[in-house]
A and B are shown apart, each in its own frame.
Chain A
Amino acid sequence: MESSFHAFAALRRRPALWAVFLALCLSVFPAAWSRAQDKLSIDLGYVAYAKPTPPPYDLYAPPQDEGEKGAALAVETNNTTGSFIGQAYRLTEAIIPPGGSPVAAAQKLADQGVRLFLADLPAQDLVQLADALRPKGAIVFNVSAQDDALRGPDCRANLFHVAPSRAMLTDSLAQFLLRRQWLRALLVTGPQKADADYAAAFRASAKKFGLKIVAEKPWTFGPLAKARSDSVTEAEALTFARGVDADVIVVADEEDDFGDYIMYRTAEPKLVTGTQGLVAASWHASYIASGAEQLQSRFLRFAGRVMRPIDYQAWMAGRAIGEAAVSTKSADPAQVAAFILGPDFDFGVYKGLPASFRSWDLQLRQPLVLAQPKSTVGIAPQPGFLHERTTLDTLGVDKPETTCHLK
């Protein structure tokens, strides 16, 4: 049991965590330890690629255990409830080395009986994983991929999305810009495919909410935000936005290559938003409203670092499974899926309105945080954006527009 316990891999790396682990055992399994046999076990699998070691000068590189720690915290929380009602949750991680196969690793977990998966994988791998696990009846929660296509033409009936889609992120920003009456945007798009996808999502949001994209420019000066200063390129970059009559510069730069470079380096004073500057995200370290402070401090104690959006998304997936398993008294993926898609399902995610799943594309509807690096600026949906079903459905692709046909 211990060998696959969620924190074990981390324990081997960090002996200090043993204390946490022991405390956890004591608190999570009080008198029930001896009755473990009678318990319903609910096994979760976590599949992700190993994160490459960042270069030493990358101050904000994602931690190696990003996501895993969020899932582990959710499992700890589920186990507290479980200790009162005879359920034992277990998280087994499959961290794939570069070039390895997530499908093979997940199949191995499935052979051990895992049917509930959390996956931190790129879109293509996710679809393959969901399809490969489908004959086993397994369901997969996408904890990180934001691709709108996964909620559209590439959607799968056993693939749930707790990560917000790009459309939800850019709709949140657009609502904020509209409320501020900062209506004219200069859209700057990076060279990566993800940047083009983000730009496309922003264009759709601008159209939906009536913002004007006054100009579009590609970013052609390289990853200056990460590079050492380069005087020749810098001079060109300084003037690239000159003469554009925009209220804000919207950057589409998912790799953090240049968005942070633009701020304060343009000729005219311009606010930056999009993937840098003021961003929309599922979670932010500065956000403490609606009880979020509890989750922030619990995670900080648990992981020894602040909670990042992917940690939070993995936590939400773990908690959704927990809520469903408690209510249905079952670990059966079909029952879990049916319950979380049912009309009565929603759960607290510390953002005011409870979260629930959209039946048409299996996307988690949730409020999003609008934040600049050290401060929360607002929450989306912004006040005044109404919807017949729930204001949360003002963010992202709504039922009439969906291109997802679940089979």
Chain B
Amino acid sequence: MRGVTISALLIGCAVCCAACPAAAYQVYVTNEKGNSVSVIDTEKLAVTKTIKVGRRPRGVLVSPDGKELYICASDDNGIQVVDTSSQKILRTLNSGPDPEQFALNPSGNPLYIANEDDSQVTVLDVEKNQIVARVPVGVEPEGMALSPDGNVLVNTSEVTSMAHFIDAHTFKLIDSVLVDRRPRVAVFSKDGSQLWVSSEIGGTVAVIDPKAHKIIKKIKFDVPGLTRQEIQPVGVRLTSDGKTAFIALGPANRVAVVDAQTFEVKKYLLVGLRVWHLALTPDEKLLFTTNGNSNDVSVIDVPALKVLKTIPVGLAPLGVVSSPN
């Protein structure tokens, strides 16, 4: 039965690929106050399904094979695993209290979870549903990133204003780098030579040398007509060619396009209200933004650097991830 379904899917996919050059991905958006996940088809650019999940869904990730979705259900103190084809909740993982954001090892296991209310990072074996390690970090841990070589785990702590570097094998703290106030998202460049960290209150993005643990560059933003306080960077995405970075600027309602080589801001794209997180499709043709206060998602055409469409989703969209295939 399963084999039949898969081959049917493969045929379906082959037909679709012949018809249109751009692959269709599924983009998953967590609605923090709607307790649901909106599924957007990137070809139709519309919500095709809405999945009911646990309370206060925030961080969202997809397994490398695209079959399972991991959702931080913060108010339920667990990570829910959703079958992407049946949209059913398969199980709830033992995440530790108040999981907010997380990172997944590219092999699909383990998960690295920031427990916002508990000043620690939890490392969880996804298959066994067992906690492998707990690492004490600063207050209100948030962003999580694993270096491309899999050796270094980075966590940001919002109140302590640090990026914590953790050995991803021994789970010992290596070093902590002070950044501007309220760091949120941490992202490695594809070659691992840079770590980008957004500071929501500081209004900057720090580009850090992850080997030397030193800040190489602090990127500032200046949107005409807005005060510095209204510019609150959160979501960060880098293209794999290392040329472009996208930074979501929160209540500035804009995504900054940054030249990732010169660190200059090239453009500000106007999106919905209070833009939080960003996701690129695997082909890097489209960028999706969650707009927390306008309850919608903006779709950005990456090569053209233009906003293509606004798609209404659930209440208070926050997390976003694209399927790998």
Please report A residues at the B interface, Cβ cutoff 8 Å.
27, 30, 77, 80-81, 84-85, 291, 294, 297-298, 323, 326, 346-348, 352-354, 389-392
Most buried by A among B116, B159, B230: B159
- Taking a contact as CB atoms under 8 Å apart, the answer to whether A354 and B229 are in contact is yes
Q: Say yes or no: is B227 at the interface (Cβ < 8 Å to chain A).
A: yes
Given contacts A80-B159, A353-B230, 17 further A-B contacts (CB under 8 A): A27-B136, A80-B160, A81-B139, A81-B159, A81-B161, A81-B162, A84-B164, A294-B116, A323-B181, A346-B201, A347-B201, A348-B158, A354-B201, A389-B227, A390-B227, A390-B229, A391-B227
Bound together, the chains give a CA A84 to CA B229 distance in angstroms of 28
Does B176 belong to the interface (CB within 8 Å)? yes
The interface residues of chain B lying within 8 Å CB-to-CB of A80 are 119, 138-139, 159-160
Write the nearest CB–CB distance from B214 to chain A, whole angstroms. 15
Which of A30, A80, A291 has its CB near the most chain B CB atoms (within 10 A)?
A80
CA distance A162 to B19 in the complex (A): 63
In the A-B complex, the 10 residue pairs with the smallest Cβ-Cβ separation, listed nearest first, are A81-B160, A348-B201, A84-B176, A354-B201, A353-B229, A348-B182, A80-B139, A77-B139, A390-B227, A80-B138
CA distance A390 to B181 in the complex (A): 19
With contacts A80-B138, A390-B229, A391-B227 taken as known, whether A348 is within 8 angstroms of B117 at the C-beta atoms is: no
Query: How far is it, in angstroms, between the C-alpha of A298 and the C-alpha of B117 when the chains are bound?
Result: 7
Task: List residues of B (199-246) whose CB comes within 8 Å of A's CBs.
Answer: 200-201, 227, 229-230
Query: How far, in Å, is B98 (CB) from chain A's closest CB?
Result: 8
Given A84-B138, A294-B140, A354-B201, residue A326 in contact with residue B119 (CB < 8 A): no
What is the CA–CA distance of A346 and B182 in the complex, to the nearest angstrom? 11
Q: Contact: B138 with A346, CB < 8 Å? A: no
B75 — nearest CB in chain A belongs to which residue?
Answer: A293
Residues of chain A lying within 8 A (CB to CB) of residue B164: 84
Interchain CB contact under 8 A, B138 and A27? no
Flag if B159 contacts A77 (CB, 8 Å).
yes
- Chain B residues whose C-beta falls within 8 Å of the C-beta of A390 in the assembled complex: 227, 229
**Shortest Cβ gap from A340 to chain B (Å):** 13
Kindly identify which residue among A291, A297, A326, A352 contacts B161, using a CB–CB cutoff of 8 Å.
Answer: A326
Q: How far is A298 from B162 in the complex, measured between Cα atoms in Å?
A: 19
Q: Is B178 at the interface (CB under 8 A from chain A)?
A: yes
Given contacts A27-B119, A326-B161, contact A348 B138 (CB under 8 A): no
Is B251 part of the contact surface with A, judged by Cβ < 8 Å?
A: yes
Q: Mark B147-161, 1 if CB is under 8 A from A, else 0.
A: 000000000001111
CA distance A33 to B138 in the complex (A): 16
Please measure, in the bound complex, the distance between the C-alpha atom of A80 and the C-alpha atom of B162, giving whole angstroms: 11
Output the nearest chain A residue to B162 by Cβ-Cβ distance: A84
Given contacts A77-B139, A81-B138, A390-B227, whether A348 and B181 have CB atoms under 8 Å apart is yes
Contacts of A326 in B (CB 8 A): 161, 178
Set of chain B residues within 8 Å of A298, measured between Cβ atoms: 117
B binding-site residues for A, Cβ under 8 Å = 116-117, 119, 136, 138-140, 158-162, 164, 176, 178, 181-182, 200-201, 227, 229-230, 251
**Which residues in B have their C-beta under 8 angstroms from that of A297?**
117
A352 to B201 CA separation, bound complex (whole angstroms): 9
Residue of B nearest to A386 (CB): B227
Cα A291 to Cα B117 with chains together (Å): 11
The binding surface of chain B is classed by DSSP as: loop
Q: How many whole Å from A71's CB to the nearest CB in chain B?
A: 16
Contact yes or no, A352 B251, CB < 8 A: yes
Chain A residues, CB < 8 A from B181: 323, 346-348, 354
| Cα A326 to Cα B139 with chains together (Å) | 14
CB neighbours of B139 from chain A (8 A):
77, 80-81
Among A85, A294, A392, the one with the most B-chain Cβ atoms within 10 Å of its Cβ is A294
The answer, among B158, B160, B161, B229, for a CB contact under 8 Å with A346, is B229
Assembly CA distance A48 to B269 (angstroms): 51
Give the Cβ gap from B212 to chain A, nearest Cβ, in Å: 18
Give the Cβ gap from B122 to chain A, nearest Cβ, in Å: 15
A288 to chain B, nearest CB (A): 11
**How far apart are B221's CB and chain A's nearest CB, in angstroms?**
15
- In whole Å, how far is A33's beta carbon from the nearest beta carbon of chain B? 13
Which of B116, B117, B160, B251 has most A Cβ within 10 Å? B160
In the complex, the chain B residue whose C-beta lies closest to that of A301 is B117
Question: 29 A-B Cβ contacts within 8 A?
Answer: A30-B136, A77-B160, A80-B119, A80-B139, A80-B160, A81-B160, A81-B162, A84-B138, A84-B160, A84-B162, A84-B164, A84-B176, A85-B178, A291-B140, A291-B158, A294-B116, A294-B117, A294-B140, A346-B181, A346-B201, A347-B181, A348-B181, A348-B200, A348-B201, A352-B251, A354-B181, A354-B229, A389-B227, A390-B227
Measured between C-beta atoms, what is the minimum distance from B304 to chain A in Å?
Answer: 33
Give every chain A residue within 8 A of B162 (Cβ-Cβ): 81, 84
With a cutoff of 8 Å between Cβ atoms, the chain A residues found around residue B182 in the complex are 348
Please give, as numbers and ranges, the residues of chain A lying within 8 Å of B159 by CB-CB distance: 77, 80-81, 348
* C-alpha spacing A389/B251, complex, angstroms: 17
B11–chain A nearest beta-carbon distance, Å: 48
State the Cβ distance, B325 to closest chain A Cβ, in Å: 35
**Alpha-carbon distance A81/B159, docked complex (angstroms):** 8
Complex CA distance for A258 and B148, rounded to whole angstroms: 65
Bound-state CA distance A391–B119 (Å) is 33
Q: Is the CB of A85 within 8 A of B176?
A: yes
Min CB gap A358→B, angstroms: 14
